[in-house]
Amino acid sequence: MRIVAVIILCFVSIAITDIGAQDINLTKPYFGTKFPKLESRSTGQWWKVENPPLMVPRDKVMAFALYTHQDGVLKLSAQLYPLLPDEPRIVRLEMDFGNGFEAVVEEPVVELGWSAHFRREGWDNSSDVPYRVRHGERAMFEGLIRRDPIDKETIVVGSLSCNSSRTPGSRESIIENLKAIDPDFLFFAGDQSYHHTEHTFGWLEWGAQFREVIGNRPVVTIPDDHDVGQANIWGENGILATNPQGPSGGYFYPAEYVNLVQRCQTWHLPDPVDPAPIERGITVYFTRLNVGGIDFAIIEDRKFKSGPEGKIPQQGPRPDHITDPSYDRASIDLPNLVLLGERQMKFLNEWGQDWSNAEMKCVLSQTAFCGAVHLHGTVDNRLLADLDSNGWPQTGRNNALIEIRRAGATHLCGDQHLAVVVKHGIKDDADGPYAFTSPAIVNTIYGRWWMPDDGQSAAEPVPHSPLPWTGNYQDGFGNRIRMLAYANPGDIRDEKQRGDGFGIARFNKRDRTITFECWPRFASVQDGDQAQFPGWPMTVDAAANDGRRVFGYLPTVVATDGIQPVVQVIHEQTGETVYTTRSKSNSFQPRVYADGTYTIRVGLAKADELLAEGLKPSEPGSGKNVTLTWSPRSN
């Protein structure tokens, strides 16, 4: 497989240098005459140009495959290099259930994007199943559909993003490290491609670089702005953007192109929880995925977000950059502005209450819910606030974090080109969830630094941290963040100082802890933790994803037969669900954060049984030991 990967990488590396390849007349009318270079290297008579960049030996046209399985449904996408006119447009899926490979099903190739898609219902996720996808008799990609690792104590997640095309060729050091760590699950948070109007080309480049690790475990890939050809994106429910810089809101390129990108990168994800398209027929993919008892919500934090241009006062040289230190923060947090949108907020609320087969929860998205960056692009460019981050609009940010906190979830994302771990604050310092932004895989586009302008440590710095600027801060929007670690680049002209790398999150189900690791691109995991970026690794308590100050405690819930119950606490005066969580033992004492009376509901997967009402909290340390015993209702 290594030899095949090297061959493909050679072709892709040659193609990368062919940025000036001549335009090709498209034979299909998807994009019209306004966008003559969209997908020009993979559509039309692509094979007739001199040295066609995507021409590979015909026994190598099957590039890679991606899959997930959820709730008894296996979904798998097979990616091909462009096919010649006389080649069949069929891909065959074969599996080995213990008696050798057998053909399972054939599916057609979707020519716009050159992918084929498979769906198998009634999937048994209790055993490993080798598979291969084949085109004709010679072209083949092999992988392994892993059993669900439900019996593992710790579920290991690889978190990666931002794969700059300005550094072509292999990602050998990252691949070798990932193979050594052997994650249960890989998450690519966006910007898999920086080729903008040539997504198929960039997607094949990414796949050639990561094919050794993406075909043999569940993988989530979600597209970000560069994947769909834009510098930034505020999707605004799918309206048409005025330019590819994006601040007007919407998508600049045709809906068919956006859907091509999303089909290639997200079709293999579990079905969308709310599949209705947005404007212009652009598809959605927000969904959930359970791996080994860790329940992941996959959200689209760009798709519904309002664009800033024309909606808020411009406070800097660009509609999305604020450089005026005297600006009124409230002036940009207007009631009509959208971040995640009603549909995704509804999803997060319902997801947080559903603990089916789940012991811990995590949200996956493209970018961070704060502006944890001070210097942008160069060390001379200090930016107060970047509206491209999810720190804006502030009300939308806080409401999203409230739902994430209500579920006791951690947040993983990418995009920022700067690895950080923060603990969000909503009303008070550190009262919200933990979040880990992974470093860029390769960062040659845009360096970023965390460097407060007063050069001083904040209140309550992290004890014993090797980093000078940790502790409680406010970002340029006024959002509270507790900075726990950051990986500032050095000289960005030196690829070994750029802060490139990848993240790992280890979810320990027994202890209910999460350990964050941050590895430089050229480090070796064989050298141990000292090879990580300073400040990592760090281990946090999942229960501290809700960091509100405890007002008091309700009676202890004790479940019979060693059951770990799902417990939900509701404030009766406001009707608010304070939180829903799964206890890590059969005993759980609910904490509350305000005076009043409370209802406790319990259950096995959802808190669908009323246990008690009208409960008053006791003060912390009062020594009261009232218990409420619960036995599940018999069916």
List domains and CATH numbers for the chain: 154-189+285-364+366-545 (3.60.21), 552-630 (2.60.40)
Q: State pLDDT tens for residues 348-401.
A: 999 999 999 999 999 999 999 999 999 998 888 999 999 999 999 999 999 999
Select from 386, 297, 268, 390 the least CA-distant residue to 337. 390
Residue 287 has pLDDT above 50, yes or no: yes
Query: How far from the centroid of its chain's Cα atoms is residue 481's Cα?
Result: 20
Q: How far apart are CA 631 and CA 96, in angstroms?
A: 43
Select from 628, 563, 620, 561 the least CA-distant residue to 601. 628
Q: How far apart are CA 579 and CA 353, in angstroms?
A: 8
- Residue 33 — very low, low, confident or very high, per pLDDT cuts 50/70/90? low
Q: How far apart are CA 635 and CA 617, in angstroms?
A: 33
- Residue 542 — very low, low, confident or very high, per pLDDT cuts 50/70/90? very high
Cβ within 8 Å of residue 412, ≥6 positions away: 157, 159, 187, 189, 362, 363, 364, 365, 435, 436, 438, 503, 505
Q: Which of 1-15, 17-31, 131-145, 205-219 has the lowest mean pLDDT?
A: 17-31
pLDDT for residue 31: 56
Cβ within 8 Å of residue 455, ≥6 positions away: none
Model-level pTM?
0.94
pLDDT for residue 609: 97
Q: What is the mean pLDDT of residues 59-84?
A: 98
Select from 58, 52, 31, 301 the least CA-distant residue to 190. 301
Q: DSSP labels for 388-403?
A: TSTT-SHHHHHHHHHH
Start-to-end CA span in the chain (Å):
51
- Residue 621 — very low, low, confident or very high, per pLDDT cuts 50/70/90? low
Q: DSSP labels for 464-477?
A: T-S-SS-EEEE-TT
Cβ pair 221, 211 in contact under 8 A: no
pLDDT for residue 271: 98
DSSP 207: H
Neighbours of 545 (CB within 10 A): 27
**Radius of gyration of the chain from its Cα atoms, rounded to whole angstroms:** 25
Average confidence score pLDDT of the chain = 93
- Residue 27 — very low, low, confident or very high, per pLDDT cuts 50/70/90? very low
- Higher-pLDDT residue of 223, 561: 223
Residue 217 has pLDDT above 90, yes or no: yes
Residue 10 has pLDDT above 60, yes or no: no
DSSP 587: E
